[in-house]
Amino acid sequence: MGRGALILLLSLAAPLAAAQQGTVRGEVRITVQGPDGRPVLKADRSGVVVYLTGYTEPPPSGEVNMAQRNKAFQPSVVGVVAGQKVRFSNNDVVVHNVFSRSRAGKFDAGKNRPGEDYTETFKKTGLIDVYCDIHEQMVATLVVVPNRAFAVTGPDGRFVLEGVPPGTHPIFAVHRRDERSDVSRAEVTVKPGGEAVVTLELNETRADDKHLDKHGRQYTPRSDAY
């Protein structure tokens, strides 16, 4: 076979392979405890990371940005592919010290002034709790996933995962609001070029935002001027 014919074959095969990929569409339902103690559906179902496992893909070349603004992380929930860089930009008017003590991605960005940033690469899959060493109220979550089939839900709890290879894959929904995460697991089968629909159920535990500073100590009370 000539070289030209091989290139032609490959160029025809590439879109064919893409056409073989499927889509997973669905919804996350979150149950919380109502005032009377009975379970009720939560209205706001945003900030849930839904992702597939069972195969790996290289990370996108671009960076993900997690900014600090008004003493909060924006966005506060981010999904990244293992090996991807995350830029922590201080877009605030005060100094921040972003850090994590999580096993999957321990880091310490140091004290960054407004306008400065720090970039870290997350190579291991897992949940990474991100905090500020100066402002205890600042809490964010990075979910490092093995492939590009992930999404973060909006208020309606709906998600779409595209470019999924055919087969049966574990699917997870992670809703992390404190040291304990709510995790839901199911399986989804994707046919070549097809669309699978799945509903994931999460039971929200009571939030407890207490955490330690970057050295493992209780936070020291500070003036709000910082």
Cis bond leading into 155, ω under 30°? no
Among 110, 166, 167, 194, binds another protein (CB under 8 A): 110
Among 9, 17, 70, 103, binds another protein (CB under 8 A): 103
Q: Contact, 101 vs 164, CB < 8 A?
A: no
Among 6, 60, 70, 119, binds another protein (CB under 8 A): 119
- In whole angstroms, give the CA distance from residue 179 to residue 77: 14
Nearest-approach distance from CB 78 to another protein, in angstroms? 17
Q: Which stretch binds another protein (CB under 8 A): 39-47, 63-71, 155-163, 209-217?
A: 209-217
Q: Is residue 121 involved in binding another protein (CB under 8 A)?
A: yes
Q: Is residue 191 involved in binding another protein (CB under 8 A)?
A: no
DSSP 168-212: EEEEEEEEESSSSEEEEEEEEEE-TT-EEEEEEEEEPPPP-----
Nearer to another protein, 106 or 191 (CB): 106
Burial of 1 (0-12, 13-18, 19+ CB in 10 A): exposed
Q: Is residue 194 involved in binding another protein (CB under 8 A)?
A: no
- Letters for 63-92 (x = contact with another protein by CB under 8 A, - = none) are ----------------------x-------
